[in-house]
Structure 1
Amino acid sequence: MKPLIGAGPSAFAALICALVASFFVVVPAADSPAQAAPGDNLIINPSLEQGTDNPSCFSRSGWGTEAAWTFQPGRVGGRSVSLTIQGYQSGDRKLLQSENAQCAPKVTAGSTYDMQVWYKSSAPVSLTMFRHTAQGWSYWGNVKQFPAANGWTLAQAPTPVIPEGTDQVIFGLSLNANGSLTTDDYSLRQVAAPQPVSDQLIVNGNLAQGATIPACYQVAGWGQRQATTLMSADVPANSPAGTRSFQFTVSGHVSGDAKLLQSEAAGCAPAVTAGQQYDLSADYKTTATGLTGFSVFTHTAAGWQYWTDLKALPAVANWTTATARTPPIPAGVDRISFGLSIGGNGTLNTTNYSMKKLQAEVIPPAGGPELEGSWDVLTTQLPIRAIHSTLLTDGRLLLIAGSGNDGAKFAAGQFRAVVWTPDTNVFKEIPVPYDMFCAGHATLPDGKVLLAGGTEAFPTDNQGPNTFKGSDRSYYFDPADDTFHQLADMAGAHWYPSLTKIGNGDIWSAGGINEKAEGTVLTEMFSSRTMSWLPQNQVPQTWSFWGTYPHMFLLDDGKMFYTGGHTFGNGLPGTGASLYDWATAKIWDVPGLRQKDMRDQASSVFVGPAQDQKLMIVGGGSGVPHSGVARLPGSSY
């Protein structure tokens, strides 16, 4: 099967389902077993002894060139499973746990797991992972490579930290060359969960711990009324695994209220700083006929006392997030506690309590335009439709139009670019060798500008508006001679690709439309040392469609972050934003992006200083002005 997405980006979701389905033999689902304790082997039938034609709870998996499968003697008795590939052309073959609730190991978000499998192989192999979310099964990446081994050898590696939304994983060793691979004795064991770095001050905010009363909380209230309580499984959609809500039911109300507060126990009610403000929130829904308030209590050397009600909340039938900001904390207050109060007959459910310190706004210094900046409207008229612009090292700007989205100019071979010198307002015409309209571009370490992809063909009269075809051509522009110089072609064609410089100066590229007017899942890498594109087999592949012009940013740990911004790319699976390790082809969903399918033609940018590793995405989609800020690992935001 070719690693391509047919019929453009809109077909991605349907085709990736078909792709995954073609890779795996699916065992019928069964009732889910109880969650294993930490340290237990989560693999069912780990030594492959059960099953006749195929080991129970395992599937012969892979794509491309077929393999012959046999049973062989086991590592310490019993049996193992061997596969042999001859006449290799593409793909891989591997033995994986079966993709169903009974067989695929269950995992917990935030934890890591130790993977082990014993093997013998006549060629190098890769430890490959897949994961399951609400959207189904998807490839997670090749975690580690292992050399050929004549005798039984242990392949061992930790999983990445399990991201939110992932509930099961499977793994195995994959062979993608002529030769044989024998495996036995699989193991997956949970190791200690990492301590998350968080600015969250509330303990047990989703009420997951505790019996009849959540851990670190207490029931409070006053007045003449009857109130009963209940821990409930009714929670907002997309809440973390294990979330519960706490329900009050009030009847016979004459006066007073009932509420759930952080308790006075050590380590429960959050510590605060005098003069600082805090942002509070909680999810709630209520049928109460009286007022629902946002109540806050303070602790001083004299003890606990009521402080204020920050706001009154309306009755809402569906889950809603209530937010409020405290006044500056008074002198002498060292802790606070808050909750939503029900002040009438009816029910109130609450969960997902949150409290974070208000970050001080950075005010730029006052001064003239040289400090604050200013805009001027120039009388200069650009001589071309500047689709692409790059600031050169000498202060000039390279402006590229190519055909300028003009089909007639494309047919006539009229492609244009200019170099603009702003100081003298001079435009220098630059010969353009092909249609660089909708190419990708990046500045190389020596100041040259790399151009990749572009337009190979415009739509014909009987085709729709999205049937442009991509080009595989590549050139570099040298400011020293103001000339485009030809390079070897890319491994595949790309129309609307993104180019991102990595730490060593090489250029990563992916996304766009190929020569068949189909979304391409091909990842490419340009070596700035050799001034050439690497062969496909030397570039880690995710086989994921990133969309067209995906907004990809290099982080300080060498990974990349996809903000969710793109062009013509709505409807992609997952949360809409991703962390991506290009070196291992592993991808992790990043939750929290609102309305991910309204990010068409959005804007994305680092929020300074860059050392804080915060990225912002604004706008996009149908024009509704949404925005969000991604909190990256190590961020202080």
Structure 2
Amino acid sequence: MAYRYRPSKKLKKTLIGGGALVVLAGLNAPAAVSFAGDKYHAYKIAQPGYKARYGSWSLLDVPHKYRVNAIHAALLHTGKVLIIAGSGNNQKKFDAGSFDTVLWNPADNSFKKIPTPVDFFCGGHSQLPDGKLLVAGGTARYEVLDGTVKRAGGGMRVKNESPDKAVTFKKGTRFRSPSGVEYVSKFPVTVPRAKREFKVSYAKGGRMLPWKTKITAGEARVFVEAAEKGPQALTTEAAQYEIEGLRGKDADNLYGLAQKLTTEKQDFQGIKEAYEFDPTAERYIPVDPMKKARWYPTLVGLDDGRVLAVSGLDDVGVVQTGDNEIYDPAAKTWTKGPSRYFPTYPALFLTKGGKLFYSGSNAGYGPAEKGRQPGLWDLGTNTFTRVNGLTDIDQTETSASVLLPPVQDQKVMVLGGGGVGESSKSTPRTGIVDLKKDNPAFQEGPRLPQGTRYLSSVLMPDDSVFTTGGSSNYRGRSASDIHKAQFFDAKTNAFRPAADPTVGRNYHSEALLLPDGRVVTFGSDPLFDDADNTKLGTFEQRVEIYTPPSLQGGRAARRPVLGEGPSQPDQRGRARFTTANPGAIVKARLMRPSAVTHTTDVEQRSIALDLTRQKDSVTVHVPEDRTLVPPGWYMLFVTDADGVSSVAKWIQVKG
């Protein structure tokens, strides 16, 4: 009988174990390589030479109780950053009436919670001449998607034919259709009294005829929802609705009108409330509400210190058709502005001469065929002059726009963007327009490394533009966050690489320049957390700070230092600051602090200042033209020949 070798049980275990180790090693090879690569990358970016060339990123240690879903961020003249979440795109917090604002002090990394009176989620904001921040609009109601709307609803126009008094109806007021179907109001509404006009006419020969009286009914609008589920509440026909509880003349004078009450998707709805945030008192102060509700509006400061509010979804979730209004910070009131339609969060820049330039950048809501054309808007005549030449004009949604430094050059750059709505399209296109030309038109600029939506773009003291983050797909879908950053140099018309951020940023993200010359990034609201789009996204609450190459190592130790000086220029626009080495300072920039959301930052601008040097000081000269330098607080940076900037001094420019 032939002999067959049989290994011992001990040897079998050894062989099996060794085989398993070999198999596991094979399976884990990619992970091991990735781990080794990550370790090497971490080592490489920590080296002084790398930092000196590309800069560096660091995560801010935010205590847990101060972590919020950053939707808005604004730098205040105190040097602190106001981070506004409101309900933070979290319906549970909205339903609970839990709204967040956090104040962060970069000087000592301290934090403070600010009581937040209304849901500023997706409102608008603008810097005011006295240093307060105007915050207006926000969320009245979260969207309800197709297929989940259980009760018919829509806008109800409430009419008041009585000239004697305005009438307020509380939330829950019932409106009854001619067929007896009842609808319930979701918000309180005040209906103004009717206007009574007297007209005098004359017969031939000059004889006065009897007075004629014309009554124009007062009107307000409110969102209503059917009291009961079911198809009986669906209607697309115009009808008049009785208001429950009214008797006599009130029942005749007050009624509702509705055209369409359906179970189609119901969009977010805006609010009218407006507040000023006081950086000194560190609290919100109520001012008169807007005339129109707005969700996703742009607020842009004008040369006289007033603020124009544009676009936004209204109180029934429809894009404003052109009902713009102007805030007067002296009177704390709103008046009607020139009528013009824009998609939500349009990028509007105040230009030399006072016209507003619309770059075409916007965020989120509005039809693809309307309001996408860039152009110059003359508010005085309410005329709009098209500016052509921008390529990929169908991909301006979620693009970034900046008024290139210095503002005297009057050049605007559009960077990246994507298709309308939930489109997966994105473009690496950049376009630059010189508004000083007689017939300005966009010229194509250098391309981004790849198609990019939600790109953050920040003006720097050395006249470069720092860009970071974004994603190639809608809301970072399919793990498409772009962990890249770069600088744009207008003189060379080219990008140069910067250190890669570690945190991805897409929808609901912000970036802004700090007074010490660093850049801070917040937020990101991905639709999904995985490449297969199966796990719902988690809002990014980490905060990351970028330190540019000019502030690394030995160069940081040599940065210019501004000493004592005034908080305002004199009547001739001059401000003198002591400094130990005035000869090292080659230029000065006045930089307006950011107020940013949804990649829209129409506040930031950089103004070149004339500079004279004395033995132990420098004097800067602020331009008198308020269309170049709108009234408000600014950061004054000076830089040396290597582009190394000082820490900023704050200066208030009066109107």
TM range (shorter): 0.3 to 0.5
The structure where strand makes up a greater share of residues is: 1
TM-score when scaled to structure 2?
0.39
More helix by share: 2
Question: Normalization by structure 1: what TM-score?
Answer: 0.40
